[in-house]
Amino acid sequence: MDLYFERYPGVLEYMERTRAQAKEQGYVETLEGRRLYLPDIKSSNAGAACGGGARGDQCSMQGTAADIIKRAMIAVDAWLQAEQSARADDYAGTR
């Protein structure tokens, strides 16, 4: 892992910044601005709080990936609807 973080120092900085935000605010945000709440992050139980902090950066990355996939699915659906409509027009002879 050390070699990875040496090659990609921005990743470690992002993870540390995201964990700090999670501890301070109790949530992280995706790049789309969606908030992912981590209720255990401020727990008096050290194990639960640590788990929340470790999950903070993961939640942010996975949540952003989900936002990207959702946008892609919406775009594909719109494209499929347009294609279906165009084919229906072709079949009906209206084009």
Q: Which fold has domain 2-92?
A: DNA polymerase; domain 1 (1.10.150)
**Residue-wise pLDDT tens digits, 16-73:** 999 898 889 989 999 899 999 888 777 666 455 445 555 677 888 888 999 999 999 9
DSSP string, 13-72: HHHHHHHHHHHHHSEEE-TT--EEE-GGGG-SSHHHHHHHHHHHHHHHHHHHHHHHHHHH
- Residue-wise pLDDT for 18-30, tens only, equals 989 888 998 999 9
pLDDT at 5: 92
Is the pTM value of this prediction over 0.85? Answer: no
**What is the Cα 37 distance to its own chain's centre?**
13
